[in-house]
Amino acid sequence: MGKITTVGELRDYLAQTIIAVGNGMIDVDKAKNITKLAAQINESFYSEIKVAKVMTELGNVADKMGRLQINK
């Protein structure tokens, strides 16, 4: 798989990793590291959604997903 650009592609990649572990094509430790990194990406998504929700509740315009500034 090349570049992952959507949440669906991330899920598909993780599913392919699970299958590859089951087939013995990927080492379990490598798969664990992949899932840890994917969890960090998902946590980032969740955090960005929470910020957007709070901004909207305060009557402000939320940044588009993926555009949240970290140095505001």
Structure tokens at 6: 């959507």
pLDDT tens digits for the chain (72 residues)? 678 888 888 889 999 999 999 999 999 999 999 999 989 988 998 999 999 999 999 999 998 888 888 776
In contact, 27 and 13? CB cutoff 8 Å: no
Contacts of 35 (CB under 8 A, 6+ apart): 14, 17
Domain boundaries, the chain: 7-57
